[in-house]
């Protein structure tokens, strides 16, 4: 058990005895404190195989048998088998035996409970499609506890990230040890943040194949949940999709490096307005905002920095500690434009070209922008502020026109992107998602037209070297990766999160070495 009482558990679902034992060894190597042996997943012929599994376990274990699992429901006399397995686990003094509330309610298990030695009983309930409020959840837990359980476990199907809020409240106030297993991609933060709110354990998977479960490796190495406590401040990326984010790999080690008690997690959010209506606690202290929420985030803030307001897009939100108000910023604009300017200045200096240091190297240039979302707006306003002539391409022409009008630029229909060549030495900036993993084979423009550009910038940073950048480099253009923008905006963002702390050398080194 970790020093803060948080257990990390790996659920194991293997058909064979040897498969279970092998997975148990892997879980141990990856940092699990205990395993849940889901016996209903096994294709065993005799209960003696389960006995061998329990006797040969290399980690403390939870033995469970779910009556409604796919395999158990196909097995004859599954209820009888369930009771045999649970009785055997208690006789062998397994650390935890999980009993479904249905089993506890419909069978006389008092005799089993009385005969146990040191085994702890977990009473579980699967809430499938039923998401009661905190009060009803509390009543359900009281009912489950009255059946004799030492630990209560709820399995919750998560349709929206807001479904987790009453679970966190319940974890904080519950008087008995409580496990909340949140199922589905939108339930990921249920496991990452459960320990902060008092959860008895956190589940982690071996290979990341279970939706909603972080891997054991990420729990131990990225999030280090053993360091979490009730005072830990929560930060995260609000986005959809969110799986591509490198933010946790950067912010979490940096929090630890500067001694700041915080955790940064991915938040798969469908409706940002509903998210902020539900998550109002000071525990949720700051947010990065990604696709497609940057524009909608403006209306969610109580106050918006003038630059972000003029751009019409927010990528950073901080909850002010004094009054809880949400303050919106845009760190994308300066990050992207200065990355482009510095790359141009470096090339000009290398070529021995004399330039006025106070003038922007993009002043007067044609700035070709692909994408009119939040990142595109930041680039467009940044380019305009430096005196560039902005041309906007977007699949939705009306959005392109609205952005072009806002920066006194020109909107051109997307299908003309490959033939647009009014001059040589232009700047191309991709602010669309084209080329992002898992579609890394895509590029917003054809290779043959890249010779018209002096510099090509791609806001996509997964992968770091996109197809667009590879082909631009082959065409002789200066290339600027979205990773440079990511580093610069993250530095500013981290300062906002921590009121000034931002070790630039550490963060830059971490990104370049690990990403």
Q: Could you list the active site residues?
A: 126, 153, 294, 332
Stated as kind and residue range, the H or E segment containing 236 is strand 233-239
Place of tokens 């005072």: 231
Per-residue CA distances from 273 to 187, 230, 278 (Å): 18, 26, 9
Contact 226, 4 (CB under 8 A): yes
Token pair, residue 218, equals 């990420």
Per-residue CA distances from 147 to 74, 109, 138, 241, 501 (Å): 28, 10, 15, 42, 50
Helices (H), 174-328: 188-193, 216-217, 247-258, 272-278, 297-300, 306-311
What is the dihedral sign for C-alpha 161, 162, 167, 168? Answer: positive
Give which of 30, 88, 25 is closest to 56, Cα–Cα. 25
CA atoms within 13 A on the CB side of 264: 25
Contact 115, 86 (CB under 8 A): no
Region class of 77: left (phi > 0), else alpha (psi between -120 and 50), else beta: left
Stated as kind and residue range, the H or E segment containing 275 is helix 272-278
**Pairing relationship of beta strands 284-289 and 316-319 according to DSSP bridges:** antiparallel
Buried b (16+ CB within 10 A) or exposed e, 386-425: bebbbbbbbeebebbbbbbebbebebbebeebeebeeeee
Q: Collapsing DSSP states into helix, strand and coil, what is residue 279?
A: coil
Q: What does the radius of gyration of the chain's CA atoms come to, in whole angstroms? A: 27
Question: Can you give the length of the chain in residues?
Answer: 515
Give which of 173, 132, 182 is closest to 153, Cα–Cα. 182
Per-residue CA distances from 190 to 183, 206, 281, 359 (Å): 9, 18, 16, 50
């Amino acid at each position: 058990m970790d020093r803060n009482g948080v257990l990390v558990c790996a659920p194991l679902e293997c058909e064979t005895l040897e498969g279970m034992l092998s997975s148990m060894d892997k879980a141990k190597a990856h940092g699990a404190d205990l395993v849940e042996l889901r016996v209903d997943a096994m294709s065993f012929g005799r209960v003696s195989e389960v006995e061998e599994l329990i006797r040969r376990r290399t980690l403390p274990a939870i033995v469970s048998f779910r009556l409604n699992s796919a395999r158990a429901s196909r097995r004859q006399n599954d209820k009888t088998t369930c009771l045999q397995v649970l009785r055997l686990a208690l006789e062998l003094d397994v650390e935890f035996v999980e009993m479904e509330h249905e089993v506890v309610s419909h069978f006389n298990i008092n005799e089993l409970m009385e005969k146990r030695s040191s085994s702890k009983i977990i009473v579980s309930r699967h809430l499938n499609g039923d998401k009661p409020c905190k009060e009803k959840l509390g009543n359900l837990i009281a009912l489950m506890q009255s059946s004799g359980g030492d630990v209560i476990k709820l399995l919750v199907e998560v349709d929206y990230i807001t479904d987790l809020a009453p679970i966190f409240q319940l974890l904080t106030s519950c008087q008995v040890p409580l496990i909340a297993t949140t199922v589905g991609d939108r339930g990921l933060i249920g496991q990452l943040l459960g320990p902060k709110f008092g959860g008895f354990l956190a589940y982690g998977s071996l290979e990341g194949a279970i939706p909603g479960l972080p891997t054991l490796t990420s729990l131990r190495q990225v999030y280090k949940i053993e360091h979490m406590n009730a005072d830990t401040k929560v930060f995260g990326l609000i986005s959809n999709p969110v799986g591509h984010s490198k933010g946790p790999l950067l912010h979490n080690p940096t929090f630890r490096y500067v001694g700041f008690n915080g955790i940064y997690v991915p938040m798969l959010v469908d409706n940002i307005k509903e998210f902020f209506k539900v998550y109002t606690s000071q525990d949720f202290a700051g947010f990065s905002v990604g696709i497609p929420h940057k524009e909608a985030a403006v209306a969610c803030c109580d106050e918006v920095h003038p630059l972000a307001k003029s751009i019409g897009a927010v990528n950073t939100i901080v909850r002010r500690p004094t009054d809880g108000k949400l303050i919106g910023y845009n760190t994308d604009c300066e990050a992207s434009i200065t990355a482009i300017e510095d790359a141009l200045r470096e090339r000009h200096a290398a070529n021995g070209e004399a330039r006025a240091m106070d003038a922007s190297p993009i002043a007067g240039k044609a700035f070709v922008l692909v994408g009119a979302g939040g990142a595109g707006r930041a680039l467009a306003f940044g380019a305009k502020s430096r005196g560039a002539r902005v041309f906007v391409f977007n699949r939705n022409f009306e959005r392109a026109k609205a952005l072009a009008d806002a920066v006194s630029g020109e909107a051109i229909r997307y299908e003309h992107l490959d033939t647009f060549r009014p001059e040589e030495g232009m700047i191309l900036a991709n602010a669309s998602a084209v080329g992002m993993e898992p579609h890394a084979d895509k590029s917003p423009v054809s290779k043959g037209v890249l010779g018209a550009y002096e510099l090509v910038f791609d806001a996509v940073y997964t992968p770091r070297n996109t197809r667009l950048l590879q082909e631009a480099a082959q065409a002789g253009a200066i290339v600027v990766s979205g990773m440079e923008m990511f580093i610069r905006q993250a530095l500013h963002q981290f300062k906002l999160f921590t009121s000034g702390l931002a070790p630039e050398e550490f963060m830059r080194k971490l990104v370049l070495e690990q990403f």
